Every structure is written in C-alpha cells, then in structure tokens.
Amino acid sequence: MNLFTSRSLLAAGLLAALLLSAVPAAADPASSLAGARAEAAAINARLNALDAQMARLDEQLDQAMARASALQAKVDATRAAVTAARDEVDAKRSALKDEAVTAYMQGGNVAGIVQIMESTQQQADLRQGYLSNVADAQQGAIDGLHAALVELDRQEAALTQQEGAAQAAVNEVRSARNASAGAAAEEQAQLARVNGQVAGLLAQIQQQQASSYAARYGARAVSYSASDSLPPPTGPAASEAVQWAQRQLGKPYVYGAAGPDSFDCSGLTMYVWGRAGVGLPHSAAGQWDDTTRVPISDLQPGDLVFYYTPVDHVGIYVGGGQMIVADHTGTVVSYASIYRDGLDGGGRVG
C-alpha cells in the first residue's frame, strides 16, 4: 500500500468516525434511512405545494396592486378636476358683480346713472331688477358648474371607497403570501434536519460497505481530499466537462434546475457536458440510456455515475473514487464519494 492510499484511508476512517459520532447509532441504518428519506419526500411534497401556492398568491398580489394603482390614479385625476371646478366657480362668482355693473353702464348714460343714483325708492327697486336681469345668464353658468362640482365630489367619494377596498385586498393577499412563506421556512428547517439525518445514516452505511468496496475496487474506494491530485480526464470533451463541473461547486441544489445558478443532479451533468458540446437529456434515466455502460472499476473522469434501480440519480466522475454531484434540496454542488447506497453503474458519454 503506497503512502497516498494509506493517508487517504486514514482520512476516510477519521471522517467516518466523526460522522458516526454525530448520528445516533441505529440497529438497522438502511431501515432508518428509508424512513428518513420518506419523511424528506413528504416535506418536499409540502414544500412543492407551498411553492405553487406562493406562485398563485404572487400573481394575485401583482393584480391587486395593479388595481389599487389604477384606482389611485383615477382618484388623483378626479381630485384635480374637483379643484379646477371649484376655482372656476369662485372665479365666475367673483366676476359676476363686475360684469353686471359693466353691462348696466354700457346700456345707459351718465345722466341716467345720476338719475338712478338720486332716484326714489321705486326707481331704486327698478335698478335692482335691471341688475338682476343682467346677471341671469352668468348665474345660469355658475349653477351648471356647481352641478358638475357636486357630481365630481360624488365620483371622488366613490373612487376613494374603491381605492380603500383595493388596498385592503392588497394587504390581505400580502398577509396570506407572508404566511405561506413562513410555513415554507419552517418546512425548510425541518427538511434540513432530516437531510442531516440522511447524511449521517449514509455515512454509517458507507462505513459498513467501505471494506467490501475497498477489497473489490482497491484504491478507488479512498476518500477524496481537496489537496489530493485527481487523474486527468481522457479526451478534450471529458476534460472540458470536468472543468465545467468544478466551476459549479458551491451552487445550490434546486429541483428541476439546469444552471447556470442552480442545479438538480441530471441538470448538472446535462449542463457541464453541454458546455463541452455534447447534448444530454435532463433526466438521469435518459442519460443512462444515452451513454455506454462502463464497469465501476474502469471509470474515467467525465464518465457518469448512476444510482438506484430504476435509475433516478447521477453524478459526474472526476477520479479518485470521487464525483461532483448535486445531491438534494438543502445541499450545494460538491465532491462526494461514488461509493454510496444505490450505486448502480457507470456510463461513458459519446
């Protein structure tokens, strides 16, 4: 056994011991793992339902805010019209006296004015009647403006009431959306806890399988450290695919995502091989069908590693018994040992 293999196996043992110490011992880790996965699946189902609900509420909120904004614009326009109408009424009333006097003066003469000013009470009554007749036309216009003003006031009150109702609808939808987001956050926290249990149980199972894998595959079953060097991929396309996979490290797992900011398992392998110029379907089973079967002992960097029967998980092999993989919700794209529960086989692209 060379120094690299000894050091790596020692590191694997220490890592497994640490993981095992963090997880309560289980009489049957495989059974516990199945239960934890079932719980995680149930949480994911609830999260998917909450995501769909929030999407509907987001659309409702957008529509409610648009209605409230449109009503606000109408209220502002009506208020401006009310102000303008009031100003016009005030201006007409102010000008009425001046216009009446001017009309009277233009229809008479100085002598007549003096006479009226010095007239008896009867003549004064006649003068008042004349002035009232002159004002009739202008008063009619003012009455019309006043009626329009009353209607504008009515419209403003109605629109203000509608605006209040629209804003109340916005607040109601926003409150429901916030409640859904809070429920989703609680489910995410629960999922993180369960995923932690899954990871610990997998560590137990992997430790149990480590000796048999090591005997079967030799040094390929060692644990990977970032300081260890990986063998170079064979072929330019495989090399480019591996390089693109390394560039995605740390990006979050999102179900159904295929980059560039997040990935699920087959989305990652489709993306990196697509950057290398090779098209793959967005499906682990589809990628199994589109690749050539390769024994685990003959894997080369760039090959795909598949899990479970039927196939529903995939990673890209990078050498040293390691792959780069987008595992599940709550994790990020990362290096991982290929030797885990459900290991099914390898596939060569092209």
3-state secondary structure of 160: helix
User: What is the Cα–Cα distance from 232 to 241, expressed in whole angstroms?
Assistant: 12
88 φ/ψ angles, rounded to the nearest 5 degrees: -70, -40
Q: Which residues pair with 258 in a beta bridge?
A: 263
Owner of token pair 């239960």: 35
What domains, with CATH codes, occur in the chain? 1-222 (1.10.287), 224-350 (3.90.1720.10)
Give the pLDDT of the chain (350 residues) as one tens digit per residue: 333 333 344 344 434 443 444 444 445 777 887 888 888 888 888 887 887 787 678 778 778 888 888 888 888 888 887 788 777 767 766 666 555 556 555 554 444 444 544 455 555 555 555 555 545 656 666 676 667 777 777 887 887 888 888 888 889 888 888 888 888 888 888 888 887 787 777 767 666 655 555 555 544 444 444 335 455 556 789 999 999 999 999 999 888 899 999 999 999 999 999 999 999 999 999 999 999 999 999 999 999 999 988 898 999 999 999 999 998 878 899 999 998 888 999 999 98
3-state secondary structure of 332: strand
> CB neighbours of 16 closer than 8 A, spacing ≥ 6?
203, 206, 207, 210
> CB neighbours of 187 closer than 8 A, spacing ≥ 6?
43, 46, 47, 50
Q: DSSP letters of 221-266?
A: GSPP-TTSPPPPPSSHHHHHHHHHHHHTTTPBB-TT-BSSS-B-HH
257 φ/ψ angles, rounded to the nearest 5 degrees: -90, 145
3-state secondary structure of 307: strand
Give me the helix-helix angle, 265-275 and 236-247, nearest 10°.
130
Burial of 3 (0-12, 13-18, 19+ CB in 10 A): exposed
pLDDT at 13: 43
> CB neighbours of 159 closer than 8 A, spacing ≥ 6?
71, 74, 75, 78
pLDDT at 20: 42
Q: Is the pTM of this model over 0.85?
A: no
Instruction: Read off the amino acid at residue 23.
Output: V
Please say whether the beta carbons of 170 and 301 come within 8 A. no
> C-alpha angle 298/299/300, rounded to 5°?
115
Question: How many other CB atoms sit within 10 Å of the CB of residue 90?
Answer: 12
Kindly report each contact of residues 180-189 with a partner whose C-beta sits within 8 Å and lies 24 or more positions away, as own/partner.
180/50, 180/53, 180/54, 180/57, 181/54, 183/50, 184/47, 184/50, 184/51, 184/54, 187/43, 187/46, 187/47, 187/50, 188/47, 188/330
Strands 343-348 and 304-307: antiparallel
